Amino acid sequence: MALSIAGRTAIVTGAGSGINLAFARALLRKRCNVVFADLKLRPEAQELVSNHSGSSQSSAKAVFQQTDVTDWQHLERMFHIAKKEFGGVDIVCPGAGVYEPVPPPTARLSSSQAPSSNFWHPPGSTCSTDASAYASLSINLSHPIRTTQLAISHFLSDRSHPSTPTENGTPTKSIIHVSSIAGQTTPLAAPLYVAAKHGISGFVRTLAPLEQRFGIRVAAVAPGVVRTPLWTDHPRVLRMVTGEDLWVEPDEVMEAMMALVEGGEVEVLQKGGQEGTRLVTVEGGMVLEVGKGRVRVVDTFMDEGPSGDGHTVSNVAPVHDEIFNRLHAGTWGLQE
């Protein structure tokens, strides 16, 4: 039987938009309280929080905590808010992330572009925000790791919320990460993003034994190309997608995330490219790849890799050419 999450509490970083907003909405729909931890909320997220505020008649409540996930004190504060508002926390999703924006073809930014954390614009260049650390890795890798440490600490110290580590055979505490098919593939345009997502998938697998010993499930989804502001709000990234490419929708990823939380079985593709689907038992350390209308278990060893709809960007050649041209100039990596 699936775990009932009614009356429980979740912390979701990056809940202001995209996949994490879809996940937060689904949690609220199932009467789970949610702490929205983000720098800001998009209008649709703000409306959702308002509709589930303390003064509303909704059965589940939502609070917004402004959070910079690169600041570890902000991460600690999320848990204090959950404790203060709801008595504790049961589900944690350190889902906030940034893509590695496709670099402009020159060393100079246009008036409409902002500096970013991108491997192809090293620290010191006018296009880079990085100084003593890579912001992309701080957001996409360090923040999920630190949040997981905090979550485990709170789970172990608060056995009274709830008192049992499992219900219907499913852990009552879970940490759901957002990896990516970039954790299996190697796109040249985004080396830092790829490194982070490979890291997240490996990190999740190392924590699989916590489920059997402590009733804490650590698992992840690995989405393909999802129609979120990470893509749609950034023209230089969006241009890699053509009419031949199909989007994965946030709700498709959300469904896989909910399956990881609620336990039981999940329907996934057959192994080895065989036709049809199979049911597998959800377990700690699991990484579920989510494509368009398809979910697949990512194997730790000898995995066949992503394929099919929702996993492609067809217009990457111009981006590669821009990178190669910059490298050929002979001044790459020097102070600009």
Over residues 215-273, the pLDDT tens digits come to: 999 999 999 999 999 898 888 889 999 999 999 999 999 999 999 999 989 999 998 77
Which residues, in sequence order, are bridge partners of residue 268? 278
pLDDT(1) > 50 = yes
For the stretch 39-69, pLDDT in tens is 999 999 999 999 998 767 778 999 999 999 9
Structure tokens, 122 = 């090293």
Averaged pLDDT of the chain: 90
Are 242 and 309 within 8 A, CB to CB? no
CA angle 293, 198, 200 (to 5 degrees): 85
Give the model's pLDDT for residue 113. Answer: 56
Give the model's pLDDT for residue 336. Answer: 55
Q: Residue 163: pLDDT band by 50, 70, 90 thresholds?
A: very low
End-to-end alpha-carbon separation of the chain, Å?
59
| Buried-exposed string 248-273: b where 16+ CB fall within 10 A, e elsewhere | bbbebbbbbbbbbbbbeebebbeeee
Q: Residue 162: pLDDT band by 50, 70, 90 thresholds?
A: very low
Q: Residue 111: pLDDT band by 50, 70, 90 thresholds?
A: very low
Write the DSSP assignment of 298-321 as a string of letters: --SSS-----STTS-----HHHHH
